Amino acid sequence: MSLDTAEKQELIKSHQVHATDTGSAEVQIAMLSKRISKLSDHLQGNIHDFASRQGLLKMIGKRKRLLSYIKDKNIQKYQDLVQKIGIRG
């Protein structure tokens, strides 16, 4: 359930902070959110895929930690990111 290069480049361009940004928290959260949605769709049809379910839970935890980091640094940036990605936050 990984992202191909074109999807990654699109996500990076839409969420990057500056021109050479490829790994900021915003970009990481956007990529994790996309992977989480793909993996959730996979698990809807494959309910006994427990290894993928464990990976999904790890990704959700990592995204939650990154979101709390951004929320501690700048609450407005956090709210904008949650709105842009379309998650509850």
The backbone torsions φ and ψ at residue 3, rounded to the nearest 5 degrees and listed phi first, read -95, 140
Residues 6+ apart with CB under 8 A from 8: 31
pLDDT in tens, 44-73: 999 999 999 999 999 999 999 999 999 999
In contact, 29 and 63? CB cutoff 8 Å: yes
Instruction: Quick: pLDDT tens for 1-54.
Output: 678 899 999 989 998 888 888 889 999 999 999 999 999 999 999 999 999 999
Give the architecture (CATH level 2) of 5-85: Orthogonal Bundle (1.10)
Domain extent listing, the chain = 5-85
- pLDDT band at residue 89 using 50, 70 and 90 as cut-offs: low
- C-alpha 10/C-alpha 6 separation (Å) is 6
Four-residue CA torsion sign, 39, 45, 50, 53: positive
